[in-house]
Amino acid sequence: MDSSTAANTSFDVDSNATVLLMGLRRSGKSSICKVVFHNTLPLDTLYLESTTKPTTENFKSLIDLAVIELPGQLNLFEPSLYDYEKLFTSIGALVYVIDSQDEYLSALQNLAVIIKYAVSVNPKIHIEVLIHKIDGLSEDFRLDTQRDIMQRVGDDLLDYGLEGVQISFYLTSIFDHSIYEAFSRIVQKLIYELPALENLLDLLMQYSNFDKVFLFDINSKIYVATDSSPVDIQNYEVCAEFIDVSIDLDGLYECNNQSQQQQQQQQQQQQQQHFVSDTIIDDVNGSNSNNMMDDYDLNKPNKPTKCISRLENGTMLYLHQMIRGLALVAVSRLEDNNETTAISVIDHNVAIFKKSLEKMWENAKFK
Amino acid sequence: MSSGKKLLLMGRSGSGKSSMRSIIFSNYSAFDTRRLGATIDVEHSNLRFLNNMTLNLWDCGGQDVFMDNFLNNTNDNNNNSSSSNIFKKCEVLIHVFDVESKEVAKDINTFKRVLQNLSKFSPNVKIFILIHKIDLVQSNKRQELFQLMFNNLKNIAYNEYGFKIQGFATSIWDESLYRAWSSIVCSLIPNVEIYEQHLAKLNDIIDAREIILFEKTTFLVISSMDKNKALSGTNHEYSGLNSTSTLDPKRFEKISNIIKTYKQSVNKIRSNFKNLILHGKNSSIYLDILTSNIYIMVIMDNNIGKDENYEVNNESLVLEDIKIARNLFEKIESKPITN
């Protein structure tokens, strides 16, 4: 599974960063969308209504990603309804969700038909199969199920005379981090600059003595890039939760700086009113616009959020806010003797990385 | 231990006693408590809190069999040697009321009988009631319902037994639980004023927006200090218009919650965190170990517009101050408790 995803990094220059989410009804498509992109609690998705219309949602991340969700009960090849050819040629990845806790034979037939069609109109499409809801299966059974599904899909495609279609399979559940991991890999394939990014991260890692470095999308917690060493799911979880900790803590003390300013402004206003009582209105207006200007000035050259945490086993977690809602999170092991210099070096390296990222994105494709 | 303090945790079966105990003291997440079964008889737990204080928490099973047993046993044992009497030498009673309970009259009756026993055996006990599972009530009716129940119980306790009680509306799904337990535990710390005094001095030096002390294992708030509090002396109430009044009033509990989640998360890589330094949008937050039992959190305003190195200098300064304060607070902590 891993090797096939890694090998599949050739990109169609004209492809869009669009993901099409398909699957039978009640396979969990909407739940996935809600959990990954809307931060819904997994348990709350129990109450989701069935989706009846195709929905498109846009997410601004490193790349502007669009997720189109097709309701499962839609009969795909009723030609009058939608222009499927246009749809399939415009998307970058097809994600098919299979409910592993249900009888999945009909889903597999449906999948084979869709793949056949998709490949015929858009040969460069990435086909991703999520074997979903695995939280209900025992550890052994998960792999059995995956093997069975892969086998059957392969056979079906052979029956259609399709050979060499690259399909990636993921075992996922919304109750743990596996769905984020899967979506991270899916989204990564749509990023044209990924090899360059990975290269940069490798360099950064090498010079900064990181164990692992991720480039996270802060909102959805999927990582858009990482260095080339293998991903340890525990490291991923800790890093993802570290983002939450930083953002939440910062949020608690966020609002009041402005209100303090406002208080100061009010005091100033009052003072001004004392001095020049004739032109109150002008002053109020003037200071209001000043206030706006101040806010603008303060927010514009905003210092990036930075967070460092040391652990008892000598590990350090390092977070640095990047461009476009991204954050760089790294796991590092520190030598005791030169801690402060090490962090300064890291700070410097990360700042340079950020600059190169900015430069890279000036010339990027999907802005 | 000599300074062990006995806490009774009581309430009807299924009201959530063991759940809250597990969350506060055993690092469970709210979700994990689904696994807990019914408590049989009494579960004792000895919890070290701060250096020289042990909490003996008696989690009393709430099923009728056990409750009757506790309550009746005491009557019998009056005549005999009453070593097994659970109402003896209690420092604190925490009585949990299930907001969803169908048998309110019975709950109150049990509460009365508990009070009766306590007034006999430990008349100096501090009593806290928790109106629990408040999340099941519509949010706009919570306050009203809580006041109603609390006033009722307060009158019963005061009029009939002369106890003054404190009450909290709690839920394991939000921060209210931390708030309640912080108050309970703080009422047991004898030298909490000393901490506060020294914290005020520390704040004079650091000039932080806020300094908070947390207990290490539970992350309950021990003491806090902000600019205005330091200026206006040590009054507990937040006075009207100051810098902290614009902050989230539930922030302490939220911090407790966030940090505990973080603790759990770093447990996955088999470690614990030592410190955390956050340079956020508007403030810098420093979380560090103060003593072996206390974490300190310092929140500094970000002075934007000063020179580039300000942040770095300031960081070293704050960390150095914390280091110096560490000695002082360790001394306070190791002082014997004079009650």
Is the pLDDT higher at A272 or at B85?
B85
Q: B141 vs A58, B118, B134, B249, CA distance in Å?
A: 38, 32, 10, 20
Chain B contact present for A143, CB below 8 A = no
In chain A, DSSP finds a helix count (H) and a strand count (E) of: 11, 11
Distance CA(A244)–CA(B133), nearest Å, equals 26
Please enumerate in sequence order all residues whose Cβ is within 8 A of that of A197, keeping only pairs 6 or more positions apart, or say none. A191, A215, A224, A225, A357, A360
CA dist., res. B36 & res. B15, Å (int): 12
B246 touches chain A (CB under 8 A): yes
In terms of Cα–Cα distance, which of B41, B8, B24, B13 is closest to B170? B24
- Rounded to the nearest 5 degrees, what angle is found at the Cα of B131, between the Cα atoms of B8 and B187? 50
CB-CB under 8 Å, A312 with B282: no
Contact between B268 and A237 using a beta-carbon 8 Å cutoff: yes
What residues contact A2, with CB distance under 8 A and at least 6 apart? none
Q: Residue B299 belongs to what H/E stretch?
A: strand B294-301
Give the residues across from B143 on adjacent strands: none
Q: Say if the ipTM goes beyond 0.90.
A: no
Task: Per-residue pLDDT tens, chain A, 367 aa: give them.
Answer: 333 333 333 333 344 578 888 888 788 888 888 888 887 877 777 777 777 777 888 777 767 778 888 877 666 666 555 677 777 777 888 888 888 888 888 888 888 888 888 888 888 888 888 888 888 888 888 888 888 888 888 888 888 887 778 888 888 888 888 888 888 888 888 887 888 888 888 888 888 878 888 888 888 888 888 888 888 888 888 888 888 888 888 888 765 445 455 555 555 555 544 444 443 334 334 333 334 333 333 444 467 788 888 888 878 888 888 877 888 888 888 766 666 777 888 888 888 888 888 888 777 655 4
Neighbours of A326 (CB within 10 A): 22
Instruction: Work out whether the CA dihedral B264, B270, B274, B280 comes out positive or negative.
Output: negative
Residues B195, B222: contact at Cβ < 8 Å?
yes
The DSSP annotation for B111-155 comes to HHHHHHHHHHH-TT-EEEEEEE-GGGS-TTTHHHHHHHHHHHHHH
CB B118 within 8 A of CB B160: no
Decide: residue A252, CB within 10 A, 0-12 exposed, 13-18 middle, 19+ buried.
buried
CB–CB of B106/B13 below 8 Å?
A: no
List beta partners, residue B166.
B128
The distance of B185 to chain A (nearest Cα, Å) reads 24
Kindly report the backbone phi and psi dihedral angles of residue A227, in degrees, each rounded to the nearest multiple of 5, phi listed first. -75, 180
DSSP classification of residue B330: H
> Is the CB of residue A275 less than 8 Å away from at least one CB of chain B?
no
- Residue A257 C-alpha, separation from nearest chain B C-alpha, in angstroms: 6
Angle of helix B17-26 relative to helix B176-186, nearest 10 degrees, comes to: 80
Nearest residue in B to A238, CA atom: B265
Query: CB atoms < 10 A from the CB of A269, how many?
Result: 18
- Cβ separation A238–B258 shorter than 8 A: no
* In contact, B252 and B179? CB cutoff 8 Å: yes
pLDDT digits (tens, 9 = 90+) for B230-287: 555 444 444 334 445 566 777 787 888 888 888 888 887 777 788 888 887 777 888 8
Neighbours of B330 (CB within 10 A): 15
- Residues of chain B with Cβ-Cβ distance to A175 below 8 Å are none
